Amino acid sequence: MLRTGIVLDSCYQDHYTGRNHPERPARIATLLTRFETYQRPALKRFAPRPAQPEEIGLVHDTAHLDRVAATAGKSYFAFDADTPVSARSYETALLAVGGLLVLLEAIMTGDIENGFALVRPPGHHAERNRAMGFCLFNTAAIGAQYLRKRFGLQRVLIMDWDVHHGNGTQHSFYDDPGVLYVSTHQYPYYPGTGAAEEVGRGAGEGYTVNLPLPAGWGDREYQELFQWVIDPICRQFDPQFVIISAGFDAHVRDPLGGMEVTEEGFGHMARVLLRIARDHAHGRCAAVLEGGYDLEGLQQSVIRVLDEMGGEMLTTPLPALTPRGLLPRVRAVQRHYWELPAD
C-alpha cells in the first residue's frame, strides 16, 4: 500500500462566493463529512500552510498578488462576473497554494509517495496577471515551478482533466519545454481556449497537448484517449513528477459540464497517470482539486482517485480498448511532435 497524503481543512470553507455560486464552501464540507468515515491504510493528513509571496511570484506578477491581497477584509469584491471574493478569500487562496506545496515537499522528501490537495478556490484559470473563472492563484502551475526551483526537477507533467480548459496553466508554460501540459476539456466551452492547434511556441512548441472534446463523451472515450494518446505522449516526455489538475466537473451528475464521466472513469484516468509516475517519476504524483460542483459526484470521485493512489490496483488491467481513431485532428497535430500508435 502506497503512502498517500491529503490536505483537507475546514479553513477552505472561509472563501465565500455568494449564496448561489457553484464554487461554494459546501464542496469542502461534503468532503470533511466523508472523511469522518473513510479509512484507507497508509493515509496521512497534513495541515496546510499559507504560500509566501515569493512562491506566488513563481507564476504571478506582483501587481496581481497586490490586487488579490487588497480584497482582504472586504465583505464583497468581484474580479469578474464569475469570480467574487469575500473577506477571507485572499487568506484561503494562499492556503490553497500552500496546501499543495506541503504535499510536494512531503513527496520529494520521501515522507509519502503521492497525495491529494483537497483545497479551494481552484486555480487553473488564473493567469499571470488576472483572476478569472473562480480562480485567484494558479495552484498547479505554482506547484510545477516550485518543484523546478526548489528541487531542481527538469521535467514536470501537468495533466488537467477538468471539464474546462486550463488557460492559465497553458499560458504559464506555453514557451517552456520543461513542463508538459496536457488537457482534456469540453470544447467549445468556457474559457474558449484549448484548440488542438494550440501546441506551444518557441522552445515550448509541442509541449502543450490539447484534446478538445465534444459534449456527451464518457468513460469509454476518455479511457481510449488516455490509453492511445495521453499515455504514449507522457511516457516519451519522461516526467520526473506528475501533477493532476483534478477537476470533477466532467462527471455525469455535474451541473456545469456536459460530459458523462463516472467515478470509475476518473479512477481509470488516475491509474494511467499513477503508472506513468511509477515508471518514470519514482511514483511521485500529486493531485489538486479544481472543479466539481455536484457534491455526491465530487465525493465519490475523490474517494475513487484516493483508492487508486493506494497502489493496489496499479497492476489491475484496464479495459482492453480497440482504437477507433477518436479526435483525428488531435492525432494529426500531435504526430508532428510525438510517436502515436496507429489508429
Which residues are identified as catalytic? 125
What 3-state class would DSSP assign to 115?
A: strand
CA 89 centroid distance within chain: 20
Q: Residue ranges of the alpha helices (H) in the chain? A: 26-34, 53-56, 62-69, 89-108, 139-151, 167-172, 219-225, 231-237, 263-280, 295-309, 328-334
197 class by beta-carbon count within 10 Å (0-12 exposed, 13-18 middle, 19+ buried)? exposed
Distance CA(309)–CA(91), nearest Å, equals 29
Written as nine digits, the cell of 155 is 521535467
Residue 263 main-chain phi, psi, to 5 deg: -60, -30
* Cβ-Cβ contacts under 8 Å for 27 (sequence gap 6 or more): 120, 292, 293, 295, 298
Distance CA(130)–CA(80), nearest Å, equals 10
User: Taking Cα atoms as reference points, which of 25, 67, 84 lies closest to residue 298?
Assistant: 25
